[in-house]
Amino acid sequence: MKLENQSKTEEFILLGFAEFYEVQTLLFLTFLVIYVVMMAGNTLIVVLIVFDQYLHTPMYFFLGNLSFLEACYSSNVFPRMLSSLSTGDGRLSVTSCFIQWYLCSSLLAAECCLLCVMSYDRYLAICKPLHYFTTMNTWTCIQLAVASWINGFIAFLILLSLMLQLTFCGPNEINHYFCDYFPLLKLSCSDTSLMEMLGFIVAIIFTLPPFLLTLTSYVYIIVAILKIPSTTGRQKAFSTCSSHLIVVSIFYGSLMIVYMLPKGEGNREVQKISSLLYLVLPPLVNPFIYSLRNKEVKNALRNNIGSLVSCKATAKKLLNV
C-alpha cells in the first residue's frame, strides 16, 4: 500500500561533482581536454590498424579492438558528464540511465576479458614464439575477440532484465557523475538484496579471474625477459611490461574498490573517485603505452602522413595544370 501511494520516478538527477561547485568550469575544461585526447588517440590507433597492412597482426588486431572499445565507453559517459558540468542540468530519464549503465558495464566487462586475452597473446609471442602464429591464427583471434565482447553484454543483459523489474518511487538523486549499478539500487523501493549479491558475484567473475590470469602471463613474460642476454634489450622489455602492468593493475584494482568493497557511507566518495581511474586512465594512456611507443605504429603513422602529403601535392599539381 505504501508503494502504491508513491509516484513512480520518471527521471534521475546526476549530482556529479556538486561538492566542487566553485570549480565546475575548471572541471569541465579538464574533462573536455581529456575526452578529446582519448578520442583522438584511440581513433588514430583504430584507423592506422585498419588501413595499414603491416599492422594486420594478432597483437594489433587486439589493440584495435581495445581502442575501439575504450572510445565507445568514453563516449557513453563523457558527453553526458560534460553537458551536466556546463549547464548544471544533471537530469536523465530512467530509460537513458539504464542504457548508460548497461553499455558502460558491458564494455568494462569486455575490456577485462580483452586485457586478459592480450596478455595471453604477449605470453605466447614471447615465451612460445615457435608456436605463436599457428596458435594465434586469424580464426582464433576472431573467436577470442568476439568472446570478449559477447561475455560482458550477455552477463549484464541478465542484470538489466532484473533491474527493469525494480520499482523506483522515492528519492531520484544519484550521487555520481554517471548511472552506476549500486547507486541505482540504493534508490529503489524494492528489495534489492538479491541484486546486490548478483552484482557482487558478477564483479568477482569479471575482475578476479582475468586479473589473476593477466598477472600470471606477465610473470612468465618477466621470467623470459630475464633470460635476454642484452642489457639494453632487457631494460626496454622491462620498461614496456612494467607500464602495461601498472595500468592494468590500476584498472582492475579500481574496479575491485568500486564493486567489491562494502557500500558504506564512508566508502562512497572513495568509490566515486576510484571510478575515475578505470574510466579515465586506460582510455587516456593505453594508446600511448601499447601502440604509439611501438616502432611499427610510428612507421605506419609516418608512412600514412607521407602518403597523404604526397597525394595532396599531386592533386595540387593536377589542379594547376
Residue 203's DSSP bridge partners are: none
Grid coordinates belonging to 217:
602471463
Residues in the chain: 321
Instruction: Say whether 117 sits in a helix, a strand or coil.
Output: helix
- What Å distances lie between residue 45 and 69, 113, 125, 277, 297, CA to CA? 12, 20, 21, 21, 8
Q: What is the pLDDT of residue 273?
A: 80
Model pLDDT, residue 211? 92
List the grid coordinates of 194: 538479491
pTM, to two decimals: 0.86
Comparing CA positions, the residue from 65, 118, 59 lying closest to residue 294 is: 59
What is the pLDDT at residue 76? 93
For residue 12, what is the enclosing H or E element? strand 11-14
Question: Which CATH number applies to 11-293: 1.20.1250.20, 3.40.50.720, 1.20.210.10, 1.20.1070.10?
Answer: 1.20.1070.10
The pLDDT tens digits for 223-254 are 888 887 777 667 766 766 777 788 888 889 88
Residue 5 confidence (pLDDT): 39
Given this model, what pLDDT does residue 216 score?
A: 92
CA pair distance 280, 271, nearest whole angstrom: 14
pLDDT at position 261 is: 75
Nearest alpha carbon to residue 301 among 310, 313, 292: 292
For the four alpha carbons of 74, 77, 79 and 84, in that order, the dihedral sign comes to negative
Give the model confidence (pLDDT) of 182-219 as tens digits: 888 888 888 888 998 998 999 899 999 999 999 999 88
d(CA 109, CA 201): 13
Compute the half-sphere exposure of residue 308: CA atoms within 13 Å on the CB side of its CA.
8
pLDDT at 318: 52
Q: pLDDT per position in the chain (321 positions), as tens? A: 343 434 577 888 988 887 777 888 899 999 999 999 999 999 988 988 888 888 888 988 998 999 999 999 999 999 999 999 888 888 888 889 999 999 999 999 999 999 999 999 989 988 888 888 888 999 999 999 999 999 889 989 989 999 988 888 878 888 888 998 988 888 888 888 899 899 899 989 999 999 999 999 988 988 888 887 777 667 766 766 777 788 888 889 888 888 887 666 556 677 778 888 888 888 888 888 776 666 777 777 777 676 655 555 555 555 555
All structural domains of the chain with their residue ranges: 11-293
